[in-house]
């Protein structure tokens, strides 16, 4: 089988995440200790014993999911000696994919994720926005609804056929939801998020993250990584860096990414990290033509 590793994004966190991994692996304990030193606080205490509300803190959520995913990839007995043919990550998960594939070091990956989280939080406070899920409408019709809504609202996550998340100014998102519903969408569901991710409203965060990315050394990954911005296999460090720079203000092209991986031979998708959202999306994108595994 041709394996593809996929890594989840924000929203997959849960109380107790990675605790069993920490308790069973000395290597995991070493990496968690290193993470505490980088972050300046004991994140594992929040991951293991914190509440849902604790885990929703931006400075916790993104590094927690990154740590769960990457330490799992490095320490799980089920993955030892397994080199995937390709990898991808959804939004935040792209940092996990690049770290697990060796394009960036564990320490640098965590530093970038923490910088990303803090920059996004500041941006949300200075440029308030929101997101909504449009269900049951073709991608092009969702894009059209955003274009006709006026203001700043864009298609932000192309998650699977019939599921697109839009992002932007609150009033513009509300108008786009109305237009999508009028065009035949089954549902237009406002999301409980702190800001307008993957939209032009994240430009200030992109600029701050860009400075951190530019200072980080990137290497060729051990396998191609299909990046959100291009939905293409990338192995060149310069291209990977450029795509990562563009990610915060560009749409997550997950449907196209999974389709490209399948076209390139992937027939076994392994979701590494908390939750099972990506397996559901891959199943819908593939029509059930690939096998799915989850390691959490």
Instruction: Compute CA distances 108 → 149, 192, 216, 222, 262, whole Å.
Output: 40, 30, 7, 17, 30
Among all residues, which ones are annotated catalytic? 91, 198
Rg (CA), the chain: 18
Phi-psi category of 33—alpha, beta or left, where left has phi over 0 and alpha has psi -120 to 50? alpha
Of the CA atoms within 13 Å of residue 131, those in its CB half-sphere come to 24
Three-state DSSP at 294 gives strand
Residues in the chain: 296
Judge whether 280 and 292 are in contact, CB under 8 Å.
no
Judge whether 205 and 256 are in contact, CB under 8 Å.
no
Ordered DSSP codes for 217-247: -----SS-EE-TTT-SEE--HHHHHHHHHHG
Q: What share of the chain is helix, strand, coil (3-state, %, to 5)?
A: 50, 15, 30
């Amino acid at each position: 089988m041709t394996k593809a590793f996929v890594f989840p994004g924000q929203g997959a966190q849960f109380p107790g995440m990675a605790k069993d991994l920490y308790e069973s692996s000395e290597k995991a304990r070493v990496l968690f200790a290193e993470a505490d030193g980088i972050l300046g606080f004991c994140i594992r205490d929040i991951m293991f014993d914190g509440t849902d509300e604790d885990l929703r803190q931006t400075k916790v959520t993104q590094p927690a999911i990154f740590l769960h995913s990457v330490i799992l990839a490095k320490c799980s007995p089920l993955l030892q000696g397994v080199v995937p043919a390709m990898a991808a990550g959804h939004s935040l998960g792209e940092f996990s994919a690049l770290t697990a594939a060796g394009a960036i070091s564990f320490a640098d990956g965590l530093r970038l994720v923490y910088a990303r989280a803090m920059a996004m939080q500041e941006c949300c406070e200075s440029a308030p926005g929101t997101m909504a899920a449009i269900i049951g409408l073709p991608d092009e019709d969702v894009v059209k609804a955003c274009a006709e809504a006026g203001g700043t609202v864009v298609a932000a996550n192309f998650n699977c056929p019939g599921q697109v998340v839009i992002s932007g100014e609150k009033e513009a998102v509300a108008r786009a939801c109305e237009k999508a519903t009028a065009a035949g969408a089954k549902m237009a569901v406002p999301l409980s998020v702190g800001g307008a991710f993957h939209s032009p409203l994240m430009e200030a965060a992109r600029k701050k993250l860009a400075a951190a990315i530019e200072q980080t050394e990137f290497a060729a990954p051990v396998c191609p990584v299909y990046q959100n911005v291009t939905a293409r296999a990338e192995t060149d460090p310069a291209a990977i860096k450029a795509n990562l720079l563009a990610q915060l203000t560009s749409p997550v092209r997950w449907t196209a990414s999974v389709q490209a991986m399948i076209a390139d031979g992937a027939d076994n998708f392994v979701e590494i990290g908390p939750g099972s959202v990506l397996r559901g999306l891959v199943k819908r994108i593939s029509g059930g033509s690939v096998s799915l595994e989850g390691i959490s």
